[in-house]
Chains A and B, each alone.
Chain A
Amino acid sequence: AQKVTQAQTEISVVEKEDVTLDCVYETRDTTYYLFWYKQPPSGELVFLIRRNSFDEQNEISGRYSWNFQKSTSSFNFTITASQVVDSAVYFCALIRGAGANNLFFGTGTRLTVIP
Chain B
Amino acid sequence: KAGVTQTPRYLIKTRGQQVTLSCSPISGHRSVSWYQQTPGQGLQFLFEYFSETQRNKGNFPGRFSGRQFSNSRSEMNVSTLELGDSALYLCASSLNAGNTEAFFGQGTRLTVV
Q: Give me the interface of A with B, judged by CB distance under 8 Å.
A: 33, 35, 37, 42-47, 50, 52, 91, 93, 95, 98-108
Interface size class of B (residues with CB under 8 A): 20 to 34
Main DSSP-derived SS at the B contact region: strand
Q: Contact at B88–A101, with CB atoms within 8 Å? A: no
Q: Give me the interface of B with A, judged by CB distance under 8 Å.
A: 4, 31, 33, 35, 42-45, 48, 50, 55-56, 58, 88, 90, 92, 94, 97-107, 109
CA distance A50 to B94 in the complex (A): 13
Cβ-defined partner of B102 (8 Å) among A43, A47, A108: A47
**Smallest CB separation, B64 vs chain A (Å):** 14
Give the residues in chain B near A35, CB-CB below 8 Å.
101
Q: Contact at B33–A101, with CB atoms within 8 Å? A: yes
Known contacts A43-B88, A105-B42; is A100 also within 8 Å of B98 by CB?
A: yes
CA distance A35 to B33 in the complex (A): 16
Q: Contact at B43–A105, with CB atoms within 8 Å? A: yes
Q: Contact at A45–B90, with CB atoms within 8 Å? A: yes
CA distance A46 to B92 in the complex (A): 11
Q: Contact at A101–B90, with CB atoms within 8 Å? A: no
Taking CB as reference atom, which chain B residue is nearest A47? B101
Taking CB as reference atom, which chain A residue is nearest B4? A44
Q: Contact at A101–B106, with CB atoms within 8 Å? A: no
CA distance A91 to B42 in the complex (A): 10
Q: Contact at B98–A102, with CB atoms within 8 Å? A: no
